[in-house]
Amino acid sequence: MSQTYEKYFVPEPSRYPIFGSIALLLIASGAVMWLNKVGSGPWTLAIGFAVLIYMLFGWFGQVVRESEGGSYGKNVDASFRWSMGWFIFSEVMFFAAFFGALFYIRVLGLPWLADSDNSLLWPGFSAAWPSAGPLVEDPFTPMAAWGIPAINTLILLTSGATLTWAHWGMMKENRGQLKAGLFLTILLGAIFLSLQIYEYMHAYHEMNLKLTSGIYGSTFFMLTGFHGLHVTIGAIMLTVMLFRVIAGHFSKEHHFAFEATAWYWHFVDVVWLMLFVVVYWL
């Protein structure tokens, strides 16, 4: 607790949250309709996303104005730091569910499926990984680690370094270095994503590796897919930061939005390392 008292910023009533709720209701109902082929699902989805984007622009825009207007003191800054940390923890747990599923299947599920109890049911099925299970008979080639995935690892690691370099620029008040670092990081993120898209297309067209390729396809695409989604979100956040830097936002002392983005990016980086080891390599 700081000794000197500083009024904590409490925002005025806001209409953005209700737009967010309407957006999610539309998105959810749109998705349900679309998946079950009733009504006009895609349209509902599209409107939902439009409302969501409006809400995100409006809400974050207001936060940016409040921040630049000096509403956020030391205490609010501390709140943001705590909250970003806990948010990333929740993301870690989301990935943990999928990593846990992969671990369970490889270490317990498949061996049980192939053990003597089940040999009458599925004679000749062996628990070797990668596996598509006893009944999916559509041979596929598993993804090798030492091609694009290894290059992507290098790219993401480098992007972590360029982002730190950008942060040094912020601390030295060297705007040029800050902008260059951010730009390089975004570029590396974009290259990563392009390579991953290429890899997915390759998997579908040449390796017959699909989301439907049994448990291997399920875990592979869901884990790398959710990771890719997070890289996309991170890259969007970085782009916003770049625009804000160009607009002259942030100072040496006051730039938590930038740091939060960096935390997020590093988190995405670490998830990738885990993916590289347990999904591609082992």
Partner 1 sequence: MAAVIPDHLHDHHHHGPTGLMRWITTTNHKDIGTMYMIFSFIMFLSGGVMALTIRAELFQPGLQVVQPEFFNQLTSMHGLVMVFGAIMPAFVGFANWQIPLMIGASDMAFARMNNWSFWLLPPAAILLLGSFFVPGGAMAAGWTMYAPLSVQMGMGMDMAIFAIHIMGISSIMGAINIVVTVLNMRAPGMTMMKMPLFCWTWLITAYLLIAVMPVLAGAVTMVLTDRHFGTSFFNAAGGGDPVLYQHVFWFFGHPEVYIMILPAFGIISEIIPTFARKPLFGYASMVYATASIAILSFTVWAHHMFTTGMPAVGQLFFMYATMLIAVPTGVKVFNWVATMWRGSLTFETPMLWATGFIFVFTIGGFTGLICAVAPIDIQLQDTYYVVAHFHYVLVAGSLFALFAGAYYWLPKWTGHMADERLGKIHFWCSMVFFNITFFPMHFLGLAGMPRRIPDYALQFADFNAMATIGAFGFGFSQLIFIVVLVKCVKGGEKAAARAWEGAHGLEWTVPSPAPHHTFEVPPVVK
Which chain residues interact with partner 1 by CB under 8 A?
Answer: 1, 3, 5, 7-8, 10-18, 20-22, 24-25, 28-29, 31-32, 35-36, 38, 59, 75, 78-79, 82-83, 86-87, 89-91, 93-94, 96-98, 100-101, 104-105, 109-110, 112-113, 131-136, 210-212, 214-219, 221-222
Closer by beta carbon to partner 1, 76 or else 180: 76
| 15 Cβ neighbours under 8 A, 6+ residues apart | none
Closer by beta carbon to partner 1, 105 or else 178: 105
Q: Can you say how many angstroms the Cα of residue 83 is from the centroid of all Cα atoms in its chain?
A: 17
Least gap, CB of 266 to partner 1 (angstroms) = 19
Phi-psi region of 248 (alpha: psi -120 to 50; beta: other; left: phi over 0): left
Closer by beta carbon to partner 1, 21 or else 208: 21
Closer by beta carbon to partner 1, 55 or else 163: 55
Phi, psi of 3, rounded to the nearest 5 degrees: -75, -50
Least gap, CB of 197 to partner 1 (angstroms) = 18
Least gap, CB of 243 to partner 1 (angstroms) = 23
Cα 56–Cα 36–Cα 31 angle in degrees, nearest 5:
5
Cα separation of 209 and 181, whole Å? 36
Torsion angle, CA of 247/249/255/257, rounded to 10 degrees? -50
Closer by beta carbon to partner 1, 16 or else 265: 16
Closer by beta carbon to partner 1, 170 or else 223: 223
Least gap, CB of 238 to partner 1 (angstroms) = 22
Least gap, CB of 39 to partner 1 (angstroms) = 10
Q: Which residues of 48-64 are buried (b: 16+ CB within 10 A; e: fewer)?
A: beebbeebeeebeeebe
Least gap, CB of 240 to partner 1 (angstroms) = 18
Cα separation of 8 and 19, whole Å? 26
